[in-house]
Amino acid sequence: MREVFKHIKGDRTIWAVIALLALFSFLPVYSASSNLAYLYGDGNTSKFLLKHMAHLILGFAILYGIHKIPYQYFKGLAIIAMPIVILLLLVTLARGTTIEGANASRWIRIPFVGVSFQTSTLAAVVLLTYVARYLSKIKDKKVSFKETLIPLWAPVFLVLALILPANFSTSAIIFSMVVVLVFLGGYPLKYLAIILGAALLMLTLFVLTAKAFPGVFPNRVDTWINRIENFTDNESTQGDYQIEKAKIAIASGGLIGLGPGKSVQKNFLPQSSSDFIFAVIVEEWGLIGGLFLMLQYMVLLFRLVIVVYKSDTVFGKLLVTGVGLPIVFQALINMAVAVELFPVTGQTLPLVSSGGTSIWMTCLALGMVLSVSAKREAILKESHEENPLDILSEVI
């Protein structure tokens, strides 16, 4: 065991949270996938469990490999990956696949492998890394708005424009994280106000265009509007079917839950193993299980703040903020949707929901965070070797 820990670098608490969430995920995924097994298969739930295990194994391989890369290398990798991501988004927009009979224009199928991949999640990690690189480059420099248009905002709006037609929630989260990142990076507020106004104008034009020419973007804008109307209409007797079933599941769970595998509403929730897995968890594990799960993400957020605080470079601080904060933000959104504090978004619960792309990209982002943390550990180790007393002031 000691030999294993020798090869693991970075924040040990983050590693522990990741491992705990991954191990816990087997129970709700195995339970929630039972309805999928009967709807789309022969009733065998074991294959869904094995598939989830394979996704996690590959995810941890990505996590381990990425955390071994010095985080400064991500600056160059982001520049190389940006045109690749844009190309993938173009292909996805043009040839998005269909999964289990549903419109899934945000996915592409990898040739010869038969695996579907959601390109927008990769685009989010690459774009936020790219923005962190640019902001660290212009830190403490006086730049004009015109100078930042092409190198900073052109890639941002291009990526968002390619994601928006099929996935409004993801594009909104990415844009929100970019805004937070540029604000923390010291970007002038007057320029940021211009960008916010331009984004609002572009979104309005897109909605008006989609309504005027419904054949171009079929059903997407109508879906957004229906979800918002269902969320805001308190007098509606129908509401959103998924939300209603999720609330029944949460109410049925009570304090200690019905017990592992005993969820009833998993048989009625269309996305019981992904988007609404939190409702199944609370139904089976109760309020205690739901709070325990939320606590893990809060611990992760706390450790992210520690890593940001201790990072020795501006790029390291912005990188951890850019790729780490969306994980916690996405988890909170997923939970908020289940309890009807937020409209339905289609966001999964990181490291818990089934789905390969979500797990892999979460592990990719956390690998970057651990790379920054590992660099700090290396610096402290060198300092400790030179003067053991210096380490006392660095321990948390």
pLDDT by 10-residue block (mean), the chain, 396 residues: 72 94 92 73 75 93 94 94 93 65 60 73 94 92 90 94 86 93 92 94 86 65 67 57 87 90 84 87 94 96 95 93 94 91 86 90 96 78 53 42
CB 224 within 8 A of CB 168: yes
Contacts of 114 (CB under 8 A, 6+ apart): none
C-alpha distances in Å from residue 268, one per residue of 46, 271, 272, 311, 354? 20, 9, 8, 46, 17
The per-residue pLDDT for 102 is 44
The per-residue pLDDT for 118 is 87
The per-residue pLDDT for 395 is 41
- Distance, CA of 385 to CA of 396 (rounded, Å): 19
C-alpha distances in Å from residue 118, one per residue of 103, 348, 367? 13, 12, 19
Q: Which long-range contacts (CB under 8 A, 24 or more apart) does 112-118 make?
A: 115/356, 116/357, 117/356, 117/357, 118/357, 118/358
The per-residue pLDDT for 231 is 66
The per-residue pLDDT for 230 is 67
Pairing of strands 107-110, 102-104: unpaired
Return the closest-CA partner of residue 359 out of 15, 13, 25.
25
CB 265 within 8 A of CB 245: yes
CB atoms within 10 A of CB 60: 16
